[in-house]
């Protein structure tokens, strides 16, 4: 498996384009084949999520995705649902596609009607420059951005020749009234929808679902996975493992980019919890550490504040015993062990700790000393800018 | 039932005193009788919690409490446990009490040995001025403060003459490495420990357990409830309801004071969720609203950002349907309905909203429109000062 450029356009059979005018962007991705999706669990569910989830469940197949940024089309009732259908039909009409095979995604302000007129105006320009160059994937990745500071793309080529590429947006619940992480994943492998679905759920669990920026879950989150089958390669059983590895790699890359691009973030925080009795214990502890506002502010303050880390693990619901905990901080290529099997006497070289805490990427490793299971979660620090971004605004 | 002054010293049979020298305080409360306790659920549990929980469980009776602030005696292993026993024995020795009937509580830095020498030095001064005046309750309430900005006391007299009084400290996980909410509750009612225990658990569930400052749970949290029985009044069945109401009132008063005194807080936020099918749904939604960093920053920014409120309720796990939700903001004596049964068309008078959002206490009422159950949670806004307090420090 090797990392490659080109994002979604690295995958055979995918063409894309996107434009952004001020805060409103429009993206179209054409790629026909079996498809699967994972959607927000928020009970306040945006219209495009309701529509696309329903279509994926009935058809297990997609021919295109149309995405707008600037308006989430959420909490907009039946009108909003009709608007989402209208978006899909507009694209289907122009390209003579079956509207049932067109997915819709939106990100932006909650509680405002979509401006279909604007989308109708932007659509010809987007369709006019569709293509399969790396630049087209870039254009799409940029057009779905809201307050993201960087476009997010990743792609790999597996040893068997299969390619997997994706673009994503999101840095937590972004902008006042605004949220959402969107990810569109493509492969040219020849795989049926049920295999895509199983692989996607597994990979999302260990990538996007392990990212915490502020713990808020958006009304619009959506990850779509389509197989163009264009490589003609049907992963054998061994390849299937590599296929899942490749997918996990791509989604994890994007997950880390989201965490690092978290609102106001200055640092990427990775919590690696090992030695858990059950995977669930490791997962709970890792997520509690990257979610804790006290850990996040300590990281921002460059403070090796390990008391907050063990406290977070302690209330996470994970099974643990404090006298079995071992804790290390890693950063800038250095590592310091702060707690060893509950013993804090080795409280460490402060100079080295300072150097570690100054790094842009901080890794916290917590060994529960109770078993073999492990999990990793990603987050960012909590800064003045997070408060500014989310407070200095009036609806 | 009427509110009265005097805190814990309003209750017959309670004498107290406390001193604070810099960041280290010492408090002694003498009150003999049946006792119950509620303790942190954090699996990283401080030594005084382990000791006091054990003593309450075996004896169901207390004669005194000794509390230090400045050091949590948490994550200190067996030495820490012996230090906690030492604190209790020191007090027991001076007053010829059974050490098994002395409770110990601590709040402060995690992971540092307790300075028993300092406590031994401070103890005579504390014992020298024990008393039952309102000033003595105040002194105790002040000496357990850490970064609390105000001492926290509350007391009521029930129609039957029984009194309930309490002091508390806490504003979330306070100070770097520091956390804890402590509350010491007393009544002169003649009630056995099992009644105290049942009443306390019920009241804590609806008061302290409904407060969120930053969602972090301390290693040292402790609420103790002792009945001096000095009034000689044994609550009859009807009085028992009033007794529980009175207790809930006292603890709720203190809970709100904690939320309002939350780190860096400028506003008290109250989330009232009504119309839930089950109480658990109301509880989940109310806590999710006051916990949401996006709601908290919006309140700080005086932004009537209702989209974040419904989104928080949506991911809370509570059973709800978006087209049944009704939402209002209340502040400064004004109320504005933003959503009515899922309909947002009534989007309201912005001038009035601005006035509401400028108030010091913001009430968010969310009606799920699905049943009769309700719950209320309290929190505060998320401000630059919260970040400053928790980041600008080096361990």
Query: Catalytic residues of A, which ones?
Result: 180
Residues 6+ apart with CB under 8 A from B42: A311, A314, A315, B217, B218, B219, B221
Burial of A256 (0-12, 13-18, 19+ CB in 10 A): buried
A176–B298 C-beta distance less than 8 A:
yes
Could you say which of B298, B313, B344 has the minimum Cβ distance to residue A390? B298
- Whether the pLDDT of residue B3 is over 80: the answer is yes
> Is the Cβ–Cβ distance between A74 and A110 less than 8 Å?
yes
Could you say which of A74, A77, A215 has the minimum Cβ distance to residue B323? A77
Confidence of residue B217 (pLDDT cuts 50, 70, 90): low
Q: How far is A340 from chain B (nearest CA, A)?
A: 12
Confidence of residue B346 (pLDDT cuts 50, 70, 90): low
Region B211-238: mean pLDDT is 80
DSSP classification of residue B340: B
B298 vs A contacts (CB less than 8 Å): 176, 390-391
Q: Which of B114, B52, B106 is nearest to B220 (CA)?
A: B106
B109–A214 C-beta distance less than 8 A:
no
Say what the pLDDT of residue B353 is: 87
Could you say which of A45, A311, A395 has the minimum Cβ distance to residue B219? A311
CA angle B4–B9–B12, rounded 5-degree value? 95
For all residues of chain A together, what is the average pLDDT? 89
Q: Which of B33, B46, B38 is nearest to B101 (CA)?
A: B33
B214–A173 C-beta distance less than 8 A:
no
Residues 6+ apart with CB under 8 A from B348: B336, B337, B338
A215–B75 C-beta distance less than 8 A:
no
The beta strand positions in B137-258, using DSSP E, are 152-157, 163-169, 182-187, 211-212, 222-227
A323–B77 C-beta distance less than 8 A:
yes
What is the rounded end-to-end Cα distance, in angstroms, of chain B?
A: 47
Could you say which of A111, A308, A383 has the minimum Cβ distance to residue B177? A308
Quote the tokens at residue B119: 């406590």
Could you say which of A294, A304, A323 has the minimum Cβ distance to residue B390? A294
Q: How many CB atoms lie within 10 A of CB A375?
A: 22
B320 vs A contacts (CB less than 8 Å): 43-44
| pLDDT tens digits along B370-389 | 999 999 999 899 888 888 87
| pLDDT tens digits along A332-344 | 999 999 899 988 7
Residues 6+ apart with CB under 8 A from A175: A109, A146, A147, A389, A393
- Whether the pLDDT of residue A40 is over 90: the answer is no
Instruction: Give dist(CA B215, CA B320) in Å, integer.
Output: 23
> Is the Cβ–Cβ distance between A6 and A34 less than 8 Å?
no
Region A385-393: mean pLDDT is 77
Domain limits of chain B? 2-260, 268-391
DSSP classification of residue A322: G
Q: Which of B170, B163, B202 is nearest to B185 (CA)?
A: B163
For all residues of chain B together, what is the average pLDDT? 89
B43–A322 C-beta distance less than 8 A:
yes
Is B52 among the catalytic positions?
no
Say what the pLDDT of residue A390 is: 77
Give the whole-number percent of chain A exceeding pLDDT 90. 59
- Whether the pLDDT of residue B132 is over 80: the answer is yes
Could you say which of B173, B303, B384 has the minimum Cβ distance to residue A387? B384
For B2-260, CATH number? Answer: 3.60.70.12
DSSP classification of residue A352: H
Residues 6+ apart with CB under 8 A from B57: none
A298–B391 C-beta distance less than 8 A:
yes
Say what the pLDDT of residue A179 is: 53
Say what the pLDDT of residue A261 is: 85
Say what the pLDDT of residue A190 is: 92
Region A273-296: mean pLDDT is 93
A219 vs B contacts (CB less than 8 Å): 311, 314
> ipTM of the assembly?
0.75
A329 vs B contacts (CB less than 8 Å): none
Q: How far is A296 from chain B (nearest CA, A)?
A: 9
Q: How far is A191 from chain B (nearest CA, A)?
A: 33
B342 vs A contacts (CB less than 8 Å): 75, 77
Region B221-237: mean pLDDT is 88
A310 vs B contacts (CB less than 8 Å): 44, 75, 110
Confidence of residue B216 (pLDDT cuts 50, 70, 90): low
B215–A302 C-beta distance less than 8 A:
no
Say what the pLDDT of residue A173 is: 46
| pLDDT tens digits along A200-238 | 988 888 888 877 765 556 777 888 999 999 998 888 777
User: Which of B47, B180, B297 is the best substitution to test chain A (most A C-beta atoms within 10 A)?
Assistant: B297
Q: Decide which of B66 and A395 is more confident.
A: B66
Q: Which run of H or E residues covers position B15?
A: strand B15-21
Angle between helices A279-291 and A293-300 (to 10 degrees): 60
Q: What is the pTM of this model?
A: 0.81
What is the rounded end-to-end Cα distance, in angstroms, of chain A?
A: 47
What is the chain A residue with the closest CA to B285?
Answer: A43
A315–B42 C-beta distance less than 8 A:
yes
> What SS3 state is found at B133?
coil
What is the chain A residue with the closest CA to B180?
Answer: A311
B305–A177 C-beta distance less than 8 A:
yes
B307–A394 C-beta distance less than 8 A:
no
Q: How many CB atoms lie within 10 A of CB A259?
A: 25
Confidence of residue B60 (pLDDT cuts 50, 70, 90): very high
> Is the Cβ–Cβ distance between B218 and B173 less than 8 Å?
yes
Instruction: Give dist(CA A200, CA A248) in Å, integer.
Output: 8
What is the chain B residue with the closest CA to A312?
Answer: B216
Confidence of residue B171 (pLDDT cuts 50, 70, 90): low
Instruction: Give dist(CA B313, CA B310) in Å, integer.
Output: 5
Region B308-326: mean pLDDT is 91
Q: How far is B251 from chain A (nearest CA, A)?
A: 23
State the count of interchain CB pairs (< 8 A) between A and B. Answer: 207
A384–B303 C-beta distance less than 8 A:
no
**Which CATH class name applies to B268-391?**
alpha beta
Q: How far is A323 from chain B (nearest CA, A)?
A: 7
B216–A312 C-beta distance less than 8 A:
yes
A298–B77 C-beta distance less than 8 A:
no
Say what the pLDDT of residue A174 is: 36
A306 vs B contacts (CB less than 8 Å): 111
What is the chain A residue with the closest CA to B214?
Answer: A293
What is the chain B residue with the closest CA to A310?
Answer: B44
- B352-383 in b/e form (b: 16+ CB < 10 A) is bbebbbebeebbbbbbbbbeebbbbbbbbbbb
A342 vs B contacts (CB less than 8 Å): 75, 77
- C-alpha radius of gyration, chain B, whole number: 22
Residues 6+ apart with CB under 8 A from B313: A43, A44, B273, B285, B288, B289, B320, B325, B366, B368
Kindly write down the DSSP assignment for every residue of A125-148, as one continuous string. HHHHT-B-SHHHHHHHHHHT-SS-
A387–B386 C-beta distance less than 8 A:
yes
> Is the Cβ–Cβ distance between A269 and A260 less than 8 Å?
no
DSSP classification of residue B8: G
What is the chain A residue with the closest CA to B78?
Answer: A323
B77 vs A contacts (CB less than 8 Å): 323, 342-343
Could you say which of A214, A312, A315 has the minimum Cβ distance to residue B293? A214
Confidence of residue A157 (pLDDT cuts 50, 70, 90): very high
Which candidate in B40, B52, B146, B180 is catalytic?
B180
Region A325-329: mean pLDDT is 95
What is the chain A residue with the closest CA to B213?
Answer: A293
B217–A111 C-beta distance less than 8 A:
no
What is the chain A residue with the closest CA to B357?
Answer: A394
Q: How far is B64 from chain A (nearest CA, A)?
A: 28
């Amino acid at each position: 498996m090797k990392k490659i450029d080109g994002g979604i356009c690295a995958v055979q059979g995918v063409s894309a384009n996107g434009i952004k005018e001020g805060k409103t962007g429009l993206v179209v991705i054409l790629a026909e084949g079996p498809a699967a999706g994972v959607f927000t669990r928020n009970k306040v569910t945006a219209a495009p999520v309701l529509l696309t989830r329903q279509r994926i469940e009935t058809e297990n197949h997609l021919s295109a995705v149309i995405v707008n940024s600037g308006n989430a089309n959420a909490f907009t009732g039946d009108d909003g649902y009709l608007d989402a259908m209208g978006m899909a039909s507009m694209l289907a009409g122009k390209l003579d596609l079956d509207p049932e095979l067109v997915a819709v995604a939106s990100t932006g302000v909650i509680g405002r009607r979509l401006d279909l007129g604007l989308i109708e105006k932007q659509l010809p320009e987007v369709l006019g420059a569709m293509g399969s160059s790396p630049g087209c994937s870039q254009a799409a990745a940029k057009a779905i951005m809201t307050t993201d500071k960087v476009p997010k793309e990743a792609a790999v080529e597996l040893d068997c020749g299969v390619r997997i590429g994706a673009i994503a947006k999101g840095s937590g619940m972004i902008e006042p009234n605004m949220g959402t992480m969107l990810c569109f994943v493509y492969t040219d492998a020849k795989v049926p929808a049920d295999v895509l679905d199983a692989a996607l759920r597994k990979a999302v669990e260990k990538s996007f679902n392990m990212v915490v920026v502020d713990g808020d879950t958006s009304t619009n989150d959506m990850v779509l996975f389509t197989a163009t089958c264009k490589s003609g390669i049907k992963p054998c059983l061994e390849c299937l493992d590599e296929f899942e590895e490749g997918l996990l790699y791509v989604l994890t890359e994007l997950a880390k980019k989201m965490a690092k691009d978290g609102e106001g973030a200055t640092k990427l925080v990775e919590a690696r919890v090992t030695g858990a009795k059950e995977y669930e214990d490791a997962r709970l502890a890792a997520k509690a550490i990257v979610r804790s506002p006290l850990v996040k502010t300590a990281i921002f303050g460059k403070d090796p504040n390990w008391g907050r880390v063990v406290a977070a693990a302690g209330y996470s619901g994970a099974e643990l015993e404090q006298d079995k905990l071992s804790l290390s901080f890693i950063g800038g290529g250095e590592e310091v062990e702060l707690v060893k099997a509950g013993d804090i006497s080795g409280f460490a070289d402060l100079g080295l700790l300072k150097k570690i805490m100054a790094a842009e990427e901080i890794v916290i490793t917590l060994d529960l000393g109770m078993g073999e299971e492990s999990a990793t979660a990603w987050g960012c620090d909590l800064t003045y800018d997070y408060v500014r971004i989310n407070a200095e605004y009036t609806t």
